[in-house]
């Protein structure tokens, strides 16, 4: 199996030993504590599950700036984005060497992790501006990722953490949420050697499904991991339970047995386009995938990124040898009226736009809301039915 990034073995930060877990949980209740941001909570969950291995905790400013500017930490390790615990107020933890980090997304704010505090530093406006510009390629606060990153506060609390739970993901999505440890184990159990991962924050229409089949065939993969984001999204995105149901129905009906796993991870979407594509590849390698599909405008939003920026960044900015996972580069896929099948649009040079079945997101949402299934060349009818029920429930 492919090795994790920067190490021979995965290094999850969740406390698996039951005695240590009990002891730490009791200690945490008496420690100075702070409620962290949703973004920081997602980062803790990702570190707990081994996705960010071998990271040991939240970055200090020097490491965060290194990750933002050149994807390299102070110790020379590769990491593509800052992973910070930013707070507005640190009065409750001033002078503390050990603190409890509380979950903002669960009632009662239970302890999510315990941190050994190495530093509490104030991030300057200039540093915040640099990190925002490097990671998001814009400082526009209308960009949902920029808005979320800059609204957390300016005090960076850094240090190694020990994770005690996986927030709401394990209770809300018991059949879907999986740690990198669990996915690696399942890949081994299934006997897969070559594995391609597909990232999604949306339900999968026919073009997405066929793209996965295409990648598996061309790469000679014996397994596909459909890996969906379960954390916070922007307004208007379809909720995770609906996406989950739609994707599971598609796999059940249109993929051979033991060829696809439907899983999810707990993380708030950054919408950082190219830089987030690198992060996605990073944690897909850690979960055991040998290949990763990156299509047009991967992890983008609005018009902030070029159509293929998320692919070219691997050639122009990622340090050579930093990642072992291979990228499957895809163009937009759509149904060809000429060929009666889904194709990559750049592989059909004799086609005009009118030769493809193309529907805007707005048009699809309008159809579903009116109880009308998109054409079978766009969406599987069984998937469309699940989405129709969701959109009509919004009107009820």
What ranges do the domains of the chain cover? 18-170, 174-395
**Rounded CA separation 91/317 (Å):** 39
Task: Count the helices and strands in the chain (H runs, E runs).
Answer: 13, 15
Of 98, 201, 248, 365, the catalytic one is 201
Of 98, 202, 248, 365, the catalytic one is 202
Residue 250: the pLDDT is 96
Residue 206: the pLDDT is 95
Residue 234: the pLDDT is 67
Rg, the chain, Cα only: 21
As a whole number, the mean pLDDT across the chain is: 95
201 included as an active-site residue: yes
Angle of the 125-136 helix axis to the 61-70 helix axis, nearest 10: 40
**Rounded CA separation 81/209 (Å):** 29
Residue 201: the pLDDT is 84
43 included as an active-site residue: no
Residue 233: the pLDDT is 67
Closest to 71 in 3D by CA, of 152, 131, 158: 131
Per-residue pLDDT tens over the stretch 149-171: 999 999 999 999 999 999 999 99
In the chain, which residues have pLDDT < 70? Answer: 233-234, 396
Per-residue pLDDT tens over the stretch 69-109: 999 999 999 999 999 999 999 999 999 999 999 999 999 99
Q: What is the CATH number of domain 18-170?
A: 3.10.400.10
174-395 to CATH, choices 3.40.50.1000, 3.40.50.300, 3.40.1390.30, 3.40.50.620: 3.40.50.620
- Pull the structure tokens for residue 316: 């122009």
The pTM of the full predicted model, rounded to 2 decimals, is: 0.94
DSSP 295-364: -TTTT--TTSS-TTHHHHHHHHTSPTTS--SEEEE---EEEETTTTEEEEGGG-TT--GGGEE---HHHH
């Amino acid at each position: 199996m492919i090795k994790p990034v920067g190490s021979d073995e995965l290094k999850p930060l969740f406390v698996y030993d039951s005695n240590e877990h009990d002891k730490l949980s009791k200690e945490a209740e008496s420690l100075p504590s702070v409620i962290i941001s949703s973004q920081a909570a997602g980062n803790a969950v990702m570190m707990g599950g081994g996705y960010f291995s071998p990271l040991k905790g939240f970055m200090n400013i020097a490491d965060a700036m290194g990750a933002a500017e050149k994807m390299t930490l102070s110790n020379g390790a590769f990491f593509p984005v800052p992973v910070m615990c930013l707070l507005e107020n640190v009065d409750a933890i001033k002078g503390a060497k050990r603190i409890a980090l509380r979950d903002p997304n669960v009632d009662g704010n239970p302890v999510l992790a315990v941190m050994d505090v190495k530093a509490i530093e104030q991030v300057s406006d200039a540093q915040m501006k640099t990190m925002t510009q490097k990671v998001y390629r814009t400082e526009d606060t209308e960009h949902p990722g920029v808005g979320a990153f800059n609204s957390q506060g300016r005090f960076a609390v850094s240090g190694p953490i020990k994770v005690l739970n996986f927030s709401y993901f394990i209770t809300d999505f018991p059949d879907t949420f999986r740690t990198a440890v669990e996915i690696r184990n399942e890949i081994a159990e299934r006997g897969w050697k070559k594995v391609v991962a597909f990232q999604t924050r949306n339900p999968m229409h026919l073009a997405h499904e066929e793209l996965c089949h295409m990648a598996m065939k061309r790469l000679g993969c014996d397994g596909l991991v459909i890996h969906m984001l379960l954390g916070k999204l922007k307004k208007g995105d379809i909720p995770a339970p609906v996406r989950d149901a739609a994707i599971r129905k598609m796999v059940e009906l249109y993929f051979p047995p033991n060829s696809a796993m439907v899983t999810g991870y707990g993380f708030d979407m950054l919408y950082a386009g190219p830089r987030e594509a690198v992060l996605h590849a990073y944690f897909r390698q850690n979960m055991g995938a040998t290949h990763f599909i990156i299509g047009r405008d991967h992890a983008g939003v609005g018009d902030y990124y070029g159509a293929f920026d998320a692919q070219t960044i691997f050639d122009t900015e990622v340090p050579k040898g930093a990642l072992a996972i291979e990228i499957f580069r895809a163009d937009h896929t759509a149904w060809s009226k000429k060929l009666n099948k889904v194709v990559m649009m750049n592989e059909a040079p004799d086609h005009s736009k009118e030769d493809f079945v193309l529907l805007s997101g707005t048009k699809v949402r309008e159809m579903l809301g009116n109880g009308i299934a998109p054409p079978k060349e766009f969406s599987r009818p069984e998937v469309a039915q699940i989405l129709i029920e969701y959109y009509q429930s919004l009107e009820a």
